[in-house]
Structure 1
Amino acid sequence: MNYLAAGGGGEEGFHAPGIAEFWQPLVGNGAFALTRSMVVFAAVAIILTVVLLRVTKKLELVPSKGQFLVESGYSLVRNGLARDIIGADKFKPFLPLMFALFTVVLINNLMGIMPFINFPTFSRIGYAIVLTAIVYFTYHGVGIARLGLFGWLKSFCPPGLPAWVVPIVWIIEFLTYVVNRPLTMALRLFGNMFAGHLMIMVFVFGGEYLLFSTEGFLPVTGVLAYVFSLAIFLFEVIVQCLQAYVFVLLACVYIAGAVADEH
């Protein structure tokens, strides 16, 4: 990518990476283009399917490295999230979904640090919206199935409130459960992946420009920019793993509210 742009007087200057770098169509353009994020997401889905089928086809008492990694992730989701949050007697029907969400989000996030790929899929908001929609329809579907449509609508307002407060509380709770929760869930995942990847690009390409296209003391600042980009890179790895955990954590919390007896 060329981040040199013509400046005043015909001189070239640094053009900072922006939103356009996240589009990256490979074939075609517009709504029906085949983009880099689509290829990455499809490749991750295929690789995950093959790896999980292969690892779980023949489980061993002394696990291999692959089996150990899969079992560690599964144990984290099962025991550290689903069972503890949803409840020991209610979490099992939702465990496959929670594990699938965790692995999909985690591996796609880590694509942002993968050599020759360097693109976190969820830096495109459409993917975050789709996964959030799956969680959204799951916990609302469970609530409606348990309580019926009118019972579900009634559950947004706790009993025992004065009559004049009920409409206000119901509207606030309805907006929280139906609008705010999915909105913030999708934006949290997208925003962290987008901002982190953008910061890495700014410092890497900015450092490249300062190091090779400037004179005097400025090349030294280019080296510092590269060092700082490495620090951001390492921090981004932590954020990528944390966001996968937080996404599934929120999904478990919302489902736990839908299956709770007092809901």
Structure 2
Amino acid sequence: MITQPGFLASEFPPGVESFDYKSLIPSLDGTMWGPAFTKLTLLVWLAVAIVIVFFLVTYRNPTIVPNKKQWLAESVYGVVRNNIATDIIGPQGVRFAPYLATIFVFVFVTNLWSIVPFAQISPNSHLAFPVVLAVLTWLLYIALGVKKHGFFGYLKHSTVPAGVPGWVLPLLVPIEFISNLILRPVTLSVRLFANMFAGHMILLVFTLGGVALWNAESVWLKPAALGSWAFAIVMTLFELFILSLQAYVFTLLSATYFQSSIAEEH
């Protein structure tokens, strides 16, 4: 009936198989290197190139009175610096603005592939890619805390809330340790992954469901196919909102983690 990677019609309905892609570069022995470079890998590298070229081109010759390209780059950076970095972290947040702006733009571009024709999938719908981004934020989050408070001081800072009665600590400390030091990269990555995975599945269902209904033997199902495609257009617009929101949320949470690391009290 419908789907395999790339929105191609097949005998299978939408499922996890829709996220499996063959290597674009077959290996010589049939086992090595081939699976390492799939369509998703290509989309990630293209996203990296787009982000780099965007900032290089738009900010190549900066002027006091910015032109349209420079204004665009400064607007993107300014939103992250002013509305996320300094609002969440405070004046110290300015030094984290380059990292946060890069994360925001990169997640946005990789998410945007989900609605670009012929790409039609976000690399973040595979858990491995959000995990890498979350681990980068988590490592910086831990490093900032250790630098600010020292190793053991940071452990205490992260696991022992101020003003809590001592008899509660045996129960509270393990919970705080798991929540603040173990689960943060998990929740950060799973949130992004789950939203992009679900978005891709919804678009598959409506788009390829319309194809299946249109190709059905009964002529009475063709109007339903048009309705399915109409919903696909609506959900594409909704997906644009969701993918933008997820880029913002990922950046916002990263800033929140950094703030908690350098704060004086837990």
TM normalised by structure 1 equals: 0.90
3-state DSSP class of the match of 1:112?
helix
Unaligned runs of 5+ in 1: 6-14
C-alpha separation in 1, matches of 2:182 and 2:235: 33
Matches for 1:62-211 after TM superposition, within 5 Å: 62-88=65-91, 90-155=92-157, 156-211=159-214
Q: Residues 87 and 41 of structure 1: is their aligned pair in 2 closer, same or farther, counting only changes over 3 Å? A: same
Q: Residues 64 and 159 of structure 1: is their aligned pair in 2 closer, same or farther, counting only changes over 3 Å? A: closer
What displacement does 1:223 show? 0.8
C-alpha separation in 1, matches of 2:119 and 2:138: 30
Q: Does 1:45 align with 2:48?
A: yes
3-state DSSP class of the match of 1:84?
helix
Given residue 238 of structure 1, which amino acid in structure 2 is its aligned partner? F
Tell me how many residue pairs correspond in the alignment: 253
What displacement does 1:163 show? 2.7
Q: Does 1:216 align with 2:214?
A: no
One of 20, 23, 28 as aligned partner of 1:23: 20
What displacement does 1:46 show? 1.4
Given residue 150 of structure 1, which amino acid in structure 2 is its aligned partner? F
C-alpha separation in 1, matches of 2:221 and 2:90: 58
Is this contact kept in 2: 1:3–1:16, CA < 8 A? no
What displacement does 1:124 show? 1.1
CA RMSD of aligned residues (A): 1.7
3-state DSSP class of the match of 1:133?
helix
C-alpha separation in 1, matches of 2:116 and 2:50: 14
Partner of 1:244: 247
3-state DSSP class of the match of 2:115?
coil
Deviates more, 1:180-189 or 1:55-64: 55-64
Q: Residues 178 and 79 of structure 1: is their aligned pair in 2 closer, same or farther, counting only changes over 3 Å? A: same
C-alpha separation in 2, matches of 1:30 and 1:64: 51
3-state DSSP class of the match of 2:151?
helix
C-alpha separation in 2, matches of 1:128 and 1:257: 21
